[in-house]
Amino acid sequence: MPTSRPSTALLAPDNDVSWLRDAFAKVQTNLRSQMELASQSISHAGTMGSVNEEHWLDIFRSYLPNRYDVASGIVIDSVGGRSDQIDVVVFDRHFTPTLLDQKNHRYIPAEAVYAMFECKPTIDKAYIEYAQEKAASVRRMHRTSVSIAHAGGVYKPKEPFRILAGLLAPRAGWADGLGESLRRNLGTEDISKLDCGCALEHGSFDFHDGELLVATEQGALIFFLFRLLSRLQSLGTVPAIDWAAYSRIIRA
């Protein structure tokens, strides 16, 4: 009795990752095309920025696990602090609800924030400085943390982690792409330093433990997403928010 032949997929060598690289390359090409279309067809800079921001939000929502929520919003804290509008906020929605939602506008408690990103036309000195200011303003916000009761006792309050920050753009603004110019302009202040970024036409970068890793244009998006997933994984869960601290705003 004749036996069926194994599929081509089963015959592929175990170390053949080209299919995955090619698949993400197509996603990246599609994202670049969408942003190019926006730049060519939308004359109002603010509207074009909002459209490209939505494209980035869609990518995050497609590839981040369900434990993370992604939105544009304003970060707030329990002592009245309030950030400017942040283009992309990666935050916990399982333990920490957003507040005063109005359609796509959200107020996100600082305790819930894992990461934040600015979406700009290019990665260059001016936009890096802009994103650094946003990062510092959110990282300085007051974050509460309380103990959590469980069946075996009580978990101690978790020390809030350093919020990740980055910059997203269709391209880099320097002649050397994400080369030495990027390294010179990333800054050294931990409170404002950017951790990662993606310029679809020129590559992506991840700065971690004192080492700057840069991917080429062909692998920009897949490198950025996988490195971001690794960084988010290392943070664990957000601290348990002290809702009593927020209630004191009402009594003030």
**Which are the catalytic amino acids?**
87, 118, 120
Alpha-carbon torsion 239, 250, 140, 118, what sign?
positive
CA distance 92 to 238: 7
Tokens of 155: 């978990």
- CB neighbours of 221 closer than 8 A, spacing ≥ 6? 24, 27, 28, 31, 59, 198, 200, 204
Residue labelled with tokens 């497609």: 62
CA distance 194 to 208: 10
CA distance 17 to 21: 6
- Other C-beta atoms lying within 10 Å of the C-beta of residue 170: 23
Which has the closest alpha carbon to 115: 142, 85, 145, 91? Answer: 91
For the chain, counts of helices (H) and of strands (E): 7, 13
